[in-house]
Amino acid sequence: MLVFHTIKESAAPTAVALGCFDGLHIGHQKVIYRAVAGHELGLSPTVFTFDASPLSDLCGKGAPRLMTNSEKLHLLEKLGIEQVYMPAFSEVRDFSAEDFVTKILDGMFHAQRVCCGFNFHFGAGGRADSEELARLCASRGIETLIVPEVDVDGLPVSSTRIRALIGEGRVEEAAGLLGRRFGYTFPVEHGRQLGRELGMPTINQRIPEGFVLPRFGVYASLVRVDGRVYCGVTNIGVKPTVGSDHVLSETWILDYGGNLYGRAIPVELVGFIRPERKFDSMDELKQAVYENAETARRMVKSARFGE
């Protein structure tokens, strides 16, 4: 898959999916699939997105992210996308809607099909909507496919709804909207070795500022290491028993004892076990962690999404 961090001319005619696509939930995927279907027409399935939320540029701070750019690119490639344009929002911020269609979609991408969601906005100030996109594209002979709202349990699927569910610890419901388990891939850092002293070594991963924060507490998890999938017990929080001042994901990978320091390891949250709490003794903490491990094994075994 080709990835461009600035706007360049496409070497082939394209079917372009437009959007921020944070989380790449099941609604986003419907947009992506329509672009991928353009391959049958000889078009290169292409995504136009941004390296950060436009709100970060306009307001200085965007909504917490559901995935990193590297995770987004990895999933887009799995979905069948051949090209991704991921420039800074500032590169197109001042384009009028008409200029965006004529100079970028037509002039640079040679788009013959453009796909977006029903609530897509573009052009300077975000003043143009999906209907305006269809009108402008039609004037250039470009097909436009607009994906309608996707509902689950009577409510629209959206990145905002998913962030709220994750913040409440309802990761199983979030998985239903994402079409996969919510997870993250961050480098493993050195910790205080407390888990190793207790006979349950953990991997510590700092959750960066600007990334969505799950509800603090203990989760059943799945951890992918060297092509194998392991059950895990993950604590999200500030480590109240030993003291800490930043949000950390600390995972005991059951049935694994290798050294993962410095490696970016994928962790997927399967289900919420209990809130974070402080223990009076290390023995009490150790007993609770073993109980969490048994609960985690049961939850992983019955999880909606397989390995």
**Looking at the annotation, which residues are catalytic?**
250
* Cross-sheet strand order for the sheet of 111-117: 2-4, 83-85, 44-48, 14-18, 111-117, 143-147
Q: How far is Cα 161 from Cα 16, in angstroms, rounded to an integer?
A: 26
Structure tokens at 72: 């987004």
- Residue type at 239? K
Helix and strand numbers (H, E) in the chain are 9, 16
Q: How far is Cα 9 from Cα 104, in angstroms, rounded to an integer?
A: 9
Closest CA to 116 of 35, 233, 13: 35
Helices (H), the chain: 26-36, 54-59, 69-79, 97-99, 130-139, 159-167, 171-178, 194-197, 282-301
